[in-house]
Structure 1
């Protein structure tokens, strides 16, 4: 009922969307929906991981090979569940992507970089099982909303020169909605302090390492950013700043702004999801990956 009310409000409030950076060769609805099988509640983390974590795997009908997406839920890094991303996962899978909808360790019990390492492990799991799933190892993306979008973007921009990079975890595309791109915008926030476990003044370097905006570099993957212009939970300045940084580094980027919507209503509206899938079609199904994106499989995070 709450979701229905939010959806009605989104339809009423939305005047139109502004879409920047869309390339002329983008394909709209290029793959017809297919049937999807779902395997739920399997453990994707190794036996010695600090906490056993589960995921749901969405596999489209057909022989593939398939690009793949790691799906990451929001909740301020402290709560909610992967069930929030069930509908998006289904829609992405219906368009011909294998989707791993993951759970991750929560703050404040677990501090950064635990959450990023969980996402990296999900990417490694997909690559290690690529043959079984008929997944294209070098056509893997991340998708998240809110805190999940922060992790999706962070996984995208964490590259070999960064402290928390793990070999084999580079992804080739990112879709991020309502994204807190720089946690340093929220130095006094209880959620950001819970994530880091230390104040900004005590460890500014850690706060930087946990901020996707600070890590953007020229070898990062294409990124699709969507955001509501009335978002007071995570200000739309976040999306603008990330889009500008990506452009400055010559990274293909799209900025999709929905006028009149705030944080929750942006999450439930359909249009940015459909456009985000079109983005994945372009960069995970059509575009040729760079040689620098070739990744080994089965690598483990060393703690």
Structure 2
């Protein structure tokens, strides 16, 4: 079991001061990797070629009758062969109420250079659209990716999900309810809306662990006391099962927005059902700084995908 907190609990002011003193160490990638694999990666994964790529911007993925037209940016690696490639669907954070997919653009650029087709998607926001509208958007997007798999040379058996913060909540939930008897899987889901692997950072895994603040109230259309069943069913941890895809979690050890208790409990639930899960602690970082200085997490996530979705053939 991982340590609950790699550093002692301090006041918010003390943490800010100490964070400033430790920032050079944090930027150097001070991390703790739980369940780090012992096996070596193949040379192609360790020292990859960086590929050129092109981007199909502002592609509408929703059907004409959808409540709001939503777009995605599709990143396509330029290769000399016609082999099907692995893909990653990326979902931005923003408390389910804002931000844009531009937040994920630097990550998308790094992954496409490594040979992944990347589909960076938008979704509807609360409070205008309540949950599960956001999950349904992603289910539609996931079907859309499959519909274009041949055109974009995607291997449909090697599609991963990547989200941060509220995006991690949605990606994790999408992966876990796909093909199950959950009401959340109908009518837009299905087994083919799942993922072969999941990268999930700063994950709100159990909505019941918070007091009902503004973001959750507007997402869920009520407090936890008013809608306890809905809060449980909207939590990824509630849907963990023995056939879950492998998960790579990363989280700031000083995260006050999504406390470290969240990934700890999520990891334990996944492991208890016999699933593979890895956890990278970003020591001395909060919720925002974990995302801003995520380079070591991106590197570990790429290695994770090279193991979990193998046979990535890089062009010379």
TM over 0.5: yes
- The higher radius of gyration belongs to 2
Return the offset for 1:286.
4.5
Find the aligned partners of 2:47 and 2:38 in 1 and give their Cα distance.
14
Task: Verify: 1:276 aligned to 2:301, yes or no.
Answer: yes
Computed over aligned residues only, the root mean square deviation of the Cα atoms, in angstroms, reads 2.0
**Shift in Å at residue 54 of structure 1?**
0.5
Tell me the SS of whatever aligns to 2:120: strand
Provide the rounded CA distance (Å) in 2 between the counterparts of 1:173 and 1:119: 16
For structure 1, the residue ranges without an aligned partner over 5 or more in a row are 1-5, 288-303
For the residues of structure 1 that align with 2:310 and 2:113, how far apart are their CA atoms?
A: 14
* 1:258 counterpart = 2:282: yes
User: Taking structure 1 as reference, are residues 214 and 37 closer, same or farther at Cα in structure 2, changes over 3 Å only?
Assistant: same
| Cα drift, residue 23 of structure 1 | 2.4
Cα pair distance change 1:246/1:66, threshold 3 Å: same
State the Cα deviation string for residues 159-184 of structure 1 (Å, max 9, x = none): 41221111121111110111111111
Alignment of 1:27-106 (within 5 A): 27=41, 29=46, 31-62=48-79, 63-106=82-125
Corresponding residue for residue 161 of structure 1: 181
Question: Which residue does 1:300 correspond to in 2?
Answer: none
Equivalent residues of 1:58, 1:93 under 8 A apart: yes
Asked whether the equivalents of residues 26 and 279 of structure 1 are also in contact (C-alpha less than 8 Å), the reply is no
Deviation, structure 1 residue 32: 2.3
8 Å Cα contact 2:61/2:71 also seen in 1: yes
Please state if 1:285 is matched with 2:299.
Answer: no
Structure 2: 5+ residue stretches without partners = 1-18
Question: TM-score scaled to structure 2, two decimals?
Answer: 0.85
**What is residue 26 of structure 2 aligned with on the other side?**
13
Please say if residues 88 and 117 of structure 2, whose CA atoms lie closer than 8 Å, have aligned partners that are also in contact: yes
Q: Go from structure 1 to structure 2 and tell me whether the alpha carbon gap of 1:9 and 1:36 turns closer, same or farther (over 3 Å shift).
A: farther
Distance 1:93 1:128 in 2: 20
Deviation of 1:148 after TM superposition, in Å, equals 0.7
Cα shift readout 1:191-230 (whole Å, capped 9, x = no counterpart) = 1111111222222221111100111110111000000101
Partner of 1:291: none
Residue 30 of structure 1, CA deviation: 5.5
Residue 207 (structure 1) aligns with: 231
